[in-house]
Amino acid sequence: MVRLRRNFLPYLFLAIPIIIYLVWVIGPMFYTFYLSLTNWDGLSSPQFIGFRNYERLFTDRVFFLSLTNNMKWLASFVTVPVVLGLALAMILNRAVPGEKFFKMSFYMPMVLAMVVSGLIWGWLYHPRGGLINSVLVGLGIVEKGPGWLSDRDLALWSIIIVAIWRQVGYVMVLYLAGLKSINPEYLEAAKIDGANDWQVFRKVLLPLLMPVSVIVLVISVIDSLRAFDLVSVMTRGGPANSSSVLANYMYIQAFNNYRMGYAASIAVILFLISLVFIFIYLWRVMQDELEY
């Protein structure tokens, strides 16, 4: 009896988180798929309408605009923070004066909540009293500062800059961890063979950092696709939906327009796009495991 209880106990501990995961993650996920096939205002009973919500998505201009903005966000996230984060990691991996201070300073934006970051940068972007326009006018660069968050051509990129500002420190920390795990003998051997700094970086460091790079890219892609907080706080998708992203548009459809079924179909599309990159990441991890 005691032995049976000991054998059963690990499964009991595993059952608790599995049940919680099923109830709070898997269950709502399948329910969202169901809701995407209904017409529901959140109050009355859902009415099954098949794939009509998805058919409407293909004729929804704001949906495609939001999807395009997400792709711009994604392209920016997998380039600028990755390059800057790797460059900072390479610099701070060496013994430089104030190394700890710089590491803390670059990572500090990641500690701030998205809402706080959005509010701070909203003040900085203020067209008249904001720090950025005050500096530009004070230096005589412009006579009147632009409306960073009210200009249709600038609003999205102004928000993306804030997101990049937060992401660079996170990417830096990931690459620093990867650099610390590399055996210095590899670098010394390359230098003994006559390789210069660029050749050591390209031929030795980059291949060894490839597992970290895959993680960084996947995280950057997922973060860019679920972008919501900054857009909601800074512009709410305006002006004229020019800074709208899928998560923000989904929220507006669900909680402002009370079209839960249509919002669920947007959520499903967003999930499927994310799933593609998740599968690529899992495939890469499995390939590395098979090589070992």
| Residue 168 in domain | yes
| Residue 262 in domain | yes
What's the number of domains the chain is made of? Answer: 1
| Residue 205 in domain | yes
| Residue 25 in domain | no
Condensed to tens digits (0 to 9), the pLDDT of residues 95-123 reads 778 788 888 888 898 888 889 999 999 99
Upstream peptide bond of 239 is cis (omega within 30 degrees of 0): yes
| Residue 129 in domain | no
| Residue 127 in domain | no
Q: For position 231, which CATH number holds?
A: 1.10.3720.10
Which strand (E) or helix (H) includes residue 291?
Answer: helix 260-291
Question: What are the phi and psi torsion angles at 47 (to 5°)?
Answer: -110, 120
Look up residue 39 and give its DSSP letter.
E
Tokens of 42: 């959140």
Contact between 140 and 185 under an 8 Å Cβ cutoff? The reply is: no
Three-class secondary structure of residue 12 per DSSP: helix
Radius of gyration of the chain (CA): 24
| Residue 144 in domain | no
Condensed to tens digits (0 to 9), the pLDDT of residues 203-254 reads 888 888 888 888 888 888 888 888 899 999 999 998 999 999 999 999 999 9
CA angle 178, 180, 186 (to 5 degrees): 95
Full domain range(s) for residue 168: 61-113+153-291
Task: Between 128 and 120, name the one with better pLDDT.
Answer: 120
| Residue 22 in domain | no
User: What's the first-to-final CA gap in the chain, in angstroms?
Assistant: 42
Tokens of 127: 């067209």
- The whole-number average pLDDT for the span 56-76 is 93
